[in-house]
């Protein structure tokens, strides 16, 4: 067989093949499909494009189930920017220390709201040249001091002892010592007998330094007893917070 003959045979074979394929396409699209004997009719599976035999799927390829892939959703929350508190610098002004007030208690002889003065002749309280109280002297002082002590709160009591101008020859301190001893005796009565706070009582002996009158002494030839009696005395000044009639 020459080359030309072989080429013609190949062309004829190709035409036959094409005609056969066209016939099969026509059978699939136009002619009904004949069911082999003994088998139920062919039915189609709607929506799949695949044919099955009855309820059997022996000739039907297994279609893998549809797999649903769930994609995790990432939620991004945008937070507002955090504002840090602003540091405030506080300037503390130093506080000056408190002023300490010192209260000074003044002696009774200094100024006070009110004062009541009681002058008692020494001859009613003491014997001559003595600092020992006579009988009834304490009661006498209580009677004289009662109005002043009841006037108000007592802030001080000043007691001074006084003598006349006479004294033993050459003993200039005699009257000073006697007047101090008599003032101390009266102060003792005020504290122990009348119950006054001892810190409020001040006793002083003044001898003949503040006479009421000039009694003519110390020379006995010129001394006058009547005048000397006025100089021998005990003066009690009671200082209170309330003034009464006669107080200053």
39 pLDDT above the threshold of 90: no
Calculate mean pLDDT across residues 162-172: 91
Contacts of 156 by beta carbon, 8 Å cutoff, 6+ apart: 107, 108, 112, 200, 201, 202, 238, 239
pLDDT one-digit tens code per residue, 91-134: 444 444 443 333 334 444 444 468 999 999 999 999 999 999 99
Lowest mean pLDDT among 53-67, 78-92, 157-171: 53-67
CB atoms within 10 A of CB 193: 12
Work out the mean pLDDT of the chain and round it to a whole number.
73
Residue pair 48/63 in contact (Cβ under 8 Å)? The answer is yes
Average pLDDT for 213-224: 93
């Amino acid at each position: 067989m020459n080359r030309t003959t072989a080429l013609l045979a190949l062309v004829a074979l190709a035409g036959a093949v094409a005609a056969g394929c066209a016939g099969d396409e026509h059978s699939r699209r136009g002619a009904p499909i004949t069911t082999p004997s003994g088998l139920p009719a062919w039915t189609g599976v709607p929506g799949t494009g695949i044919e099955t035999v009855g309820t059997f799927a022996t000739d039907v390829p297994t279609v893998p189930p549809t797999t649903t892939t769930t994609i995790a959703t990432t939620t991004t929350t945008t937070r507002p920017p955090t504002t840090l508190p602003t540091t405030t610098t506080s300037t503390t002004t130093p506080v000056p220390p408190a002023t300490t007030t010192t209260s000074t208690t003044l002696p009774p002889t200094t100024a006070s709201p009110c004062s009541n003065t009681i002058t008692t002749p020494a001859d009613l309280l003491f014997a001559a040249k003595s600092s020992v109280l006579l009988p009834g002297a304490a009661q006498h002082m209580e009677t004289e001091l009662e109005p002043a002590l009841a006037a108000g709160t007592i802030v001080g009591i000043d007691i001074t002892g006084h003598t006349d101008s006479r004294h033993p020859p050459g003993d200039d301190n005699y009257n000073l010592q006697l007047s101090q001893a008599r003032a101390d005796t009266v102060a003792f009565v005020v504290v122990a007998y009348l119950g006054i706070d001892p810190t409020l009582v001040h006793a002083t002996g003044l001898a003949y330094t503040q006479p009421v009158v000039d009694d003519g002494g110390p020379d006995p030839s010129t001394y006058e007893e009547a005048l000397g009696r006025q100089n021998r005395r005990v003066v009690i000044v009671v200082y209170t917070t309330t003034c009464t009639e006669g107080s200053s």
